[in-house]
Amino acid sequence: MWDVIADALLDTLKLLPFLLLLYILIELMEHNTRVGRANRALAGGWAPLLGSATGLIPMCGFSVMAAKLYEKRYVTLGTLLAVFIATSDEAFLVMLVSDMSWLNKLVSILSMCGIKLALGAAVGYAADLLVRRAPVTPMPVIDYEEEEHGHDHDHEHDHGHDHACEEEEHEQDEFTACEHKHGRRGNLSVYFVSPLLHTLQVAAFVLLVNLAFGFLFYFIGEDTVMEFLQGSGYWYQPLICSLLGFVPNCASSVILAEVYAMGGISFGSCLAGLVVNAGLGYLVLFRDVPAWKRTLAVCAFLIALGIAVGYAVNALSLALPPISL
């Protein structure tokens, strides 16, 4: 039982750096024009492809980052779906250290990566074409030379801007925010204290969910889940694996990879679960309670996509001659 608590703490601690950097990035996007310019890349024409490629990195932190950026409307729905589809959490690492032959490992991992990369990018671009509802929040771009030399210092108070601050001196501060300068204490609060508080809040929520699913798998037993997958039958596996992949916990991807490495489920069934598996990214979406309908629609689409992919790949494998590795 203590292993469950230790694993939940470890998974949450691994997420902390991603969350802290994410919230700092969001603050810089909202207050700093130099970083605001870089925000264009998050919504550019390459965004779904880049998102899909980023999701292949075996860490659930990127799906969390994508979900939070989508919640803030800094990335499109297509980019979010691309990251989620490509994410596989720790599955590829488990396959890499499994007892499969090296050729089998190489073919399995590269095939899954290629399919998930192409599928994520394709779905992402298609979603952005179909859904044109307020895709991103553009950041203002300010000419720094005009800002630094053309500012009228005789205007100490701008009554049209409630948040304008008094400028103290001509300090060349790299953290110059939108149309005013924060003091050192203000910068510390905006760019570190506030992100840290948000990080701890989300981390506490993630820890509780990790504990809940950890104890669920503990009482059910991973061996029981594996045996159930193995005995579920060739044509039931994609459905069951997709539902298992939806569980926002690293244990789901680990079980899928381990059962596949043991030969308990087919390639298509494992792929079905990993297409749905987006790690802890789902938790961030569900924390936005007012948008629960949108979140449910995203989840339902990904589960349906995973099931469809699993059955399609299984059917294709039956039609093609078997390949011995």
Q: Where is pLDDT greater, at 236 or 207?
A: 236
Higher pLDDT residue, 267 or 211?
A: 267
- pLDDT above 80 for 274: yes
- Name every residue whose Cβ is closer than 8 Å to that of residue 238 and which is 6 or more positions away in sequence: 268, 269, 272, 306, 307, 309, 310, 311, 314
What pLDDT, on a 0 to 100 scale, did the predictor assign at position 48?
Answer: 93
Q: DSSP string covering 255-289, please?
A: HHHHHHHTTSS-HHHHHHHHHH--TTHHHHHHH-G
Query: pLDDT: is 26 or 50 the higher one?
Result: 50
End-to-end CA distance of the chain: 39
- Length of the chain measured in residues: 325
| Position 32 pLDDT exceeds 80 | no
**Residue 118 predicted with pLDDT over 50:** yes
Using the predicted structure, report yes or no on whether residue 258 has a pLDDT greater than 60: yes
pLDDT at 229: 77
Q: What predicted TM-score, i.e. pTM, was given to this entire model?
A: 0.73
Average pLDDT over residues 235-261: 89
State the pLDDT at residue 145. Answer: 41
Domain ranges of the chain: 2-133+183-319
| Confidence (pLDDT) at 148 | 43
Quick check: 238 pLDDT over 90? yes
For residues 103-114, average pLDDT: 94
172 has a pLDDT exceeding 50: no
* Single-letter amino acid code for the residue at 9: L
Average pLDDT over the chain, rounded to an integer: 77
pLDDT category, 149, cuts 50, 70, 90? Answer: very low
- pLDDT (0 to 100) of residue 74: 86
Question: What is the model's pLDDT at position 42?
Answer: 64
